[in-house]
Chains A and B, each alone.
Chain A
């Protein structure tokens, strides 16, 4: 039995301890906002926040997640909600499939660096692929979000 803390709630699961967190979240607990894109840590679709930092949940054995604070796209944390608002304002998503991961990576970046410059944005966001090519809007929405936060 493994106990996980996801979006502020505890979930106890009986699974193969090597099962990646991604599949526990999606198939066992049932939060489907976290996506599967490659299963190899290459695309970022599966990003979740682990103690505030974005990790590829497809690579994290669930057994190593005990005692960690996991936040998924369905969860609440200041920067995530602020970014989601910017995402909607700039109409960022096309198909939307990569966007949970993009938002989590961006949240993690802002958690660690509230005023990223262009290179820092590029560097952080290069962990995520968007096949639809929404990159310019993602960048725009991150900048917009930072501006709004700095204003308030």
Chain B
């Protein structure tokens, strides 16, 4: 299929504003749960500004969510353009500032499209309706004789008028109360392959990421933070730092003990980044390490591993697992251990902040612009209205940039030096002061009857909770952190899910697909172990475990559907050639997981030669409901495969005496091109509501690799990364 081009995208880089004189439509927050073709507008209007049509025909569409490579600036706006019958080549995308008038802007949880799809459709359809009414007035013809097509309103007689030419009439018209949405079969952009609206700028160096933002008079700052989380500055000597050419000043940054607060430390301000970094190296600081200096991940792993060997807090129980184990023909148990991880987005955390007397302006790569606004306003004791958060492009986010701590740091420094400053994290800062993906131990025990059916399932896990970042002292998982284990779509009569205690000693945060990584890993590997113990083929066994067709019993609008789950699993296996003869030493491993409301399976082909693993092929199948932009979904699955392989191969963050031991890409490695397998993606055709895409591809990769390694070698690896086992 030919990609649809957009030639006017350069406008964004030039900085297009919502100029006066255009047709600016306010959008309501619509409430509906079904994908009806006709929906009512809720009478309550919200001052959301997403569409501006100019009399020259150019169409400015606002992206309210942050772009970090997941293609949201393209997908969300293309939905408006589709319903509006706009010409994509006339579209210019404008990034929204952080402001509650745009509704929730948190770009996380793989939910931007899921939540905004219908609203964007409504918005587009509403504009189209107004334009048709404008043409009706202009021509004096009945509405039934007018249709919209590719930026024109067309009359049955054949005459037509451009959208732009209708602006002056349209701006005085009333917004219709009811609009008709298009039938999916008439979609022009939705479900097609639309290239990123930013693709050219991202390939020629003109795209502006946070790190590229420059404002007049801006200084650069690097911060030395305590190596131990929440440690504080006792004393410091700035003499040598001030002697570095280009260094202007040294100031202390406060430690704010709140979820998104600054970590505190000493900042070196300079005329360029290099001088700031060099000046920082020259600082002499004595720290008070505080309580977290006791953190050693190795002994911590032993502690939480011991915790999951004994009864924990019961989160869910159906039937009686005790009974099941008593009556079992055979039982199997296993313990899985996964380390901390960190996001390491290619662009390190950074922010430009300019604090003025009674206002503040921020430019930053941020997934949560409203949280940033709130934190900065709180810190500066300003009204939120006085804080402007400009969202730049993000050089990757993966959850790290959902936490605006780095913006608060920049605000503190800008305030101290009374001028604009860019805080730049080094890669070492990024790896050593992150909000880490949690470290976990999980114990699973399964009962098999004499036919090899699973009659009992016990899953017990302990990991420091993300809740601890918000409420220090929290040492049990939050309810939502247990759900990917509790809502497991397996048809087992006796099941029990338990949690064990685990204290946090670093900041714990969400990381692409979050707790689905450990849960998806343990559940998929354990299911595979059970299959072998039962003497069954893993695919057949798994389909049987998922059981009969049914949908989840839940009040949630979205439910898992075991038919979809089995379908993605079977399709992935077929695409991988599961039942075909493979080259000697090759084997295929499977995994399937439901997360972010999407059903995803992976079938991965590996070989292990001379003790070294090679991943040959990754096949992913996703059912994410209506596919908005197929090429983006494919790209996200490709990226998820690589992301999942990186964590499976190398991902491990460790702490000794509270200090993170890794520092840069030599000891926190990423997959590189020579290790990249063939990746095949299939997107299931569906007209159901769209569900998550950015994250759900990740959890299936590592367990599928582990299961493939077992099939190829007979060795079962229950901990990651594989570099610890000498396999990569």
Contact = CB atoms under 8 A, between A and B. Distances in A.
Most A CB within 10 A of own CB, among B205, B271, B272, B278: B205
Contact of A93 (B196, B206, B208, B671): B196
A35 B220 contact: no
A16 B246 contact: yes
Nearest to A81: B204
B664 A40 contact: yes
A93 B199 contact: yes
Interface in A127-147: 128-139
Given A33-B204, A42-B666, A137 B638 contact: yes
A94 B211 contact: no
A74 B205 contact: yes
B396 to A, nearest CB: 5
Nearest to A22: B274
Interface string B200-215: 1111111111011010
A74 B69 contact: no
Contacts of A139: 673, 676
Chain B interface size, under 10 / 10 to 19 / 20 to 34 / 35 or more: 35 or more
Contacts of A20: 274
A139 B277 CA distance: 35
B335 interface: no
Contacts of B344: 131
Interface string A87-105: 1110111111111100100
Given A16-B245, A92-B203, A123 B674 contact: yes
Contact of B346 (A39, A97, A103): A97
B134 interface: no
A73 B273 contact: no
A40 B668 CA distance: 13
Given A37-B427, A93-B196, A95-B394, A133 B202 contact: no
Most A CB within 10 A of own CB, among B202, B273, B275: B202
Nearest to A72: B205
Nearest to A19: B274
B198 interface: yes
Given A20-B274, A40-B665, A103 B203 contact: yes
A45 to B, nearest CB: 6
A135 B666 CA distance: 19
Contact of A133 (B246, B274, B639): B639
B603 interface: no
A141 to B, nearest CB: 9
Interface stretch (B173-181, B457-465, B467-475, B640-648): B640-648
A8 B640 CA distance: 40
Nearest to B196: A91
Given A33-B205, A84-B203, A84-B204, A95 B272 contact: no
B195 A40 contact: no
Contacts of A94: 69-71, 396, 635, 639
A27 B220 contact: yes
A30 B202 CA distance: 17
Given A38-B665, A129-B346, A99 B202 contact: yes
B666 A122 contact: no
A96 B207 contact: yes
B596 to A, nearest CB: 18
Interface string B389-425: 0000111111000000000000000000000000010
Interface in B530-563: none
Contacts of B398: 131
Given A72-B205, A92-B203, A134-B639, A36 B198 contact: no
A96 B198 contact: yes
A36 B348 contact: yes
A133 B641 contact: yes
A15 B667 CA distance: 32
Nearest to A83: B203
A97 B211 CA distance: 10
A48 B168 CA distance: 50
Contact of A122 (B195, B347, B394, B673): B673
Contact of A31 (B200, B205, B271, B273): B205
Interface of A: 15-16, 19-20, 23, 26-28, 30-40, 42-43, 45, 72-74, 84, 87-89, 91-100, 103, 121-123, 125-126, 128-139
Q: Which 9 A-B pairs have the closest CB atoms?
A: A33-B205, A133-B642, A97-B395, A96-B202, A95-B69, A94-B69, A73-B205, A32-B212, A133-B639
20 contacts: A32-B205, A32-B214, A35-B346, A38-B664, A40-B665, A43-B427, A74-B205, A91-B195, A92-B199, A93-B196, A95-B202, A95-B347, A97-B345, A97-B395, A122-B674, A129-B665, A131-B344, A132-B639, A134-B638, A138-B673
